[in-house]
Structure 1
Amino acid sequence: MITIKDVAKEAGVSVATISRVLNNSPGVSDETRKMVLSVIKRLNYNPNLLGRNLRRMETKMILVLLPTISNPFYARIVKGIEDVAQKNGYGVMLCNTDSDVKRERMYLELLKNRLSDGVIFMAPEIDEGELNEIGEKFAAVQCCEYKEGANVSHVSIDNFKAAYKAVKHLIGLGHKDIGLISCKNNFLSTKQREEGYKKALIDFGIEFNPQYVRYGDYSFKSGFRATKSLLADADKITAIFAISDIMAIGAIKAANENGLKIPDDIAIVGFDNISFAPMYNPSLTTISQPKYDIGCTAMELLIKQIKERGDNKENIILEHELIIRESTVK
């Protein structure tokens, strides 16, 4: 295997000069630089990037922890993260935590052992205190989901306002008996979307009915089952707000099986605007999150922390949009 010493001997220069050329450092003439690069190419020399990065106390790798890789919602966010990472010379390690705190801690050992330069949490499972410890010692950003009291930067949307807007849309169409399909978890977004749903009802003089609430797990089947249950127990319901598009699509399937026409008999709104939302029949009215921009912004914040090595924390709330389609309006 060709080493840096072989390159230096062939080029007739010192190992230090080869190192300066590889690192694009000053102090090397253009003529020498061209000659060294020519020798590197001719000898097909591949520098030991791991060793070089360890000497610099960096790995050029970023840890991205997400609760599940099966949810298409995360795809565009990860694309944004990777695009910004690559432009800045970083690689990305995607780690599926399954919302398991032990698994999350296992992956965080990579960060603690300096095998990663920073971490992006899609939905942190560790508690606020543990998260603050990570944020004090390492570059860290929360993306989409975040712990409200943690002193760690986050990028998200205003989930309360988004849910409020979705339910207000249904009320504006004349619906008063509006079901909710939520999830039982510790995500802040879930709590905020439920609160937005309730506040919209209250503001328009509609009493919140706990019998109109069902819980899923973000899956198509859970949305289907929740809707079947709602339609069986609350036949007055004329609209459903689901806190995720996948559950909303399950709701459409259940409504169709019950012989209901959408949106004539029942209107359905989702959340996230995943790629399937406009393709389903009927196309799904939903809250659109700027997923790609969320990923880009999270990665930009992380790189800023890595380079500046400061304690400045930034919280960024990006805009959302209600996309009205056939599941609520013909």
Structure 2
Amino acid sequence: MKIKTKAITIEDVVRLSGVSRGTVSRVINDHPHVSEEKRKKVKEAIEQLDYMPNVSAQRLRNIKTKTIAVIVSSISNPFFGLLLEELEKDVIKLGYQLLLCNTRNSKKKEIDFLRLLITNQVDGIILASMANYWENIKEFVNYGPIVCCNQFDPKVEVPSIGLDHEEAAYIGTKHFIDNGHEKIAFCGGISQFNISVGRKQGYEKALKESGLKINKDWIFDNVYGTAGGIEVFNNVANMRVRPTAVFSGGDEIAVGFIKAALDSGWKVPQDISVMGFDNQPIGTFVSPELTTIQQPIEQMGKITIQKMIESINNIQSMRSEEIILKANLIERNSVKTI
């Protein structure tokens, strides 16, 4: 009589070792981001169960697609267009191609795109925006390299390349102050994003350093695009006490603000000074031309691709690493001295 025996699976190893499935997968694939204690538990469980990993699946993971996915929150944001152009320039030279993944700020879509690593449809993923918290993303590192670009989270366990957004906003706000402005408004993006938080902190730091009061009525969160800039202007125009300067978290916002101001008979910068962020081409197409903060996009793209290719070629080399880049102030004609 034949005795039927149940095949040992990875889930059996998970149950016996008492760790997560992701941790077991990391140990099997000799991933570096596992504590010695957990690694020991998994190896003991594997030995006790006489578990044999699926060699075919492991071989499949070693097949290169020569494709790298780039996850962005909104392709309509010109910043991402400029960043993608720089990433593509560098990646093509190395024989790879990019796959654009537009989440539209959807947490679910972001997770769906990250699953491309599990199905071996891409060799790695560049996270240029992050809708989910790292806790919901980190398990995907078990299936392939992830590099964060333009996105910082102190909890991430992978290379992160981006701007010091707090310092950038500080530089911009300080420029207003150095030109005699004491009533300065702030426009930020999605309020819970680390980028927006950092910029607001830089704005507030510059004001506090100069002994200026922070007026909450002059802080606008969750502002996007030219429409957002127009809305901010309408709010400012109806205020009894108005700011003399506006620091915006994007050149599109600033251009929308300037257009609405000019349409309403205001003069820029005579009646109100305006500063943008990103140094997009649109900033030179308005009158007056826009003073703005420039991100080092070319440098950001080069380092991101470098770290991604290093990780693809040697997954064991991937580790938590923050590479912080510096911003530059581009002075044009939309800020006046008072």
Give the shorter-chain TM-score range. 0.7 to 0.9
Please state if 1:97 is matched with 2:103.
yes
1:85 aligned partner: 91
Secondary structure, in 3 states, of the residue corresponding to 1:64? Answer: strand
Q: How does 1:49-68 map to 2 (within 5 A)?
A: 57-68=63-74
User: Structure 1 residue 83: deviation in Å?
Assistant: 1.5
1:312 counterpart letter in structure 2: R
For residue 314 of structure 1, the aligned residue among 321, 333, 336 is: 321
Which shifted more, 123-132 or 319-328? Answer: 123-132
For residue 325 of structure 1, the aligned residue among 307, 332, 335 is: 332
For residue 148 of structure 1, the aligned residue among 149, 154, 160 is: 154
Secondary structure, in 3 states, of the residue corresponding to 1:286? Answer: strand
- Looking at structure 2, the residues matched to 257 and 68 of structure 1 have their Cα atoms a distance apart, in angstroms, of 28
Which of the two has higher C-alpha Rg? 1
Task: Report if aligned partners of 2:79, 2:280 keep a CA contact under 8 Å in 1.
Answer: yes
1:280 aligned partner: 286
Q: TM-score, normalised by structure 2?
A: 0.78
Secondary structure, in 3 states, of the residue corresponding to 2:283? Answer: coil
1:149 counterpart letter in structure 2: K
1:69 aligned partner: 75
User: Structure 1 residue 227: deviation in Å?
Assistant: 1.6
Q: How does 1:221-232 map to 2 (within 5 A)?
A: 221-232=227-238
User: Structure 1 residue 236: deviation in Å?
Assistant: 3.0
Secondary structure, in 3 states, of the residue corresponding to 2:238? Answer: helix
- Looking at structure 1, the residues matched to 98 and 228 of structure 2 have their Cα atoms a distance apart, in angstroms, of 32
2:7 aligned partner: none
1:106 aligned partner: 112
2:325 counterpart letter in structure 1: L
Paired-residue identity, %: 32
Secondary structure, in 3 states, of the residue corresponding to 1:201? Answer: helix
Unaligned runs of 5+ in 2: 1-58
- Looking at structure 1, the residues matched to 104 and 60 of structure 2 have their Cα atoms a distance apart, in angstroms, of 30
Distance 1:118 1:286, change over 3 A: same
Task: Report if aligned partners of 1:156, 1:316 keep a CA contact under 8 Å in 2.
Answer: yes
Which shifted more, 276-285 or 178-187? Answer: 178-187
1:122 aligned partner: 128
Q: How does 1:243-262 map to 2 (within 5 A)?
A: 243-262=249-268
- Looking at structure 1, the residues matched to 145 and 265 of structure 2 have their Cα atoms a distance apart, in angstroms, of 53
1:303 aligned partner: 309
2:253 counterpart letter in structure 1: M
- Looking at structure 2, the residues matched to 241 and 232 of structure 1 have their Cα atoms a distance apart, in angstroms, of 18
- Looking at structure 2, the residues matched to 211 and 203 of structure 1 have their Cα atoms a distance apart, in angstroms, of 20
Which shifted more, 214-223 or 78-87? Answer: 214-223
RMSD value, Cα:
1.8
Unaligned runs of 5+ in 1: 1-52
Distance 1:103 1:159, change over 3 A: same
2:140 counterpart letter in structure 1: I
2:73 counterpart letter in structure 1: P
- Looking at structure 1, the residues matched to 289 and 175 of structure 2 have their Cα atoms a distance apart, in angstroms, of 16
1:5 aligned partner: none
1:211 aligned partner: 217
2:273 aligned partner: 267
User: Structure 1 residue 56: deviation in Å?
Assistant: 5.1
Which shifted more, 212-221 or 106-115? Answer: 212-221
Deviating above 4 A after TM superposition, structure 1's stretches of 4 or more consecutive aligned residues are: 53-56
Cα displacement string for residues 135-168 of structure 1 (whole angstroms, at most 9, x for unaligned residues)? 3442111110232211121110110011001011
Secondary structure, in 3 states, of the residue corresponding to 1:111? Answer: coil
Which shifted more, 133-142 or 197-206? Answer: 133-142
Task: Report if aligned partners of 1:244, 1:271 keep a CA contact under 8 Å in 2.
Answer: yes
Cα displacement string for residues 248-287 of structure 1 (whole angstroms, at most 9, x for unaligned residues)? 1111112212322111111001111111112221111010
User: Structure 1 residue 132: deviation in Å?
Assistant: 2.1
- Looking at structure 1, the residues matched to 320 and 90 of structure 2 have their Cα atoms a distance apart, in angstroms, of 19
For residue 170 of structure 2, the aligned residue among 164, 176, 183 is: 164
